[in-house]
Amino acid sequence: MNSTLSLNLPADLLQSARMTLDEVRVELAIALFRGERLSMGRAAELAGLPVGDFQGCLAARRIGPHYDADDALQDAATLAKLRSSS
């Protein structure tokens, strides 16, 4: 089941911040991604951007992907499996 949530922001708040609603969505997505609350794909979805464009926003702020030692080991195992099956 998929539901939505509406957030009402006063127009003067956006004007004070000198931001559009789309910019607020991107900022929220970046903050949630940076805090490891959302994956890259879900954060891009929240931002309303393709993943590649969202990655560009992160790169411009020098925010790297969440990638730890377990991810690296998993990737290495997958690559080894692919090599052995070819």
Quote the pTM value: 0.74
User: What are the residue ranges spanned by the domains of the chain?
Assistant: 17-85
Provide the mean pLDDT of the chain.
Answer: 88
In this structure, how many other beta carbons lie within 10 angstroms of the beta carbon of residue 24? 16
Model pLDDT for residues 60-75, shown as the tens digit of each residue? 999 988 776 776 677 7
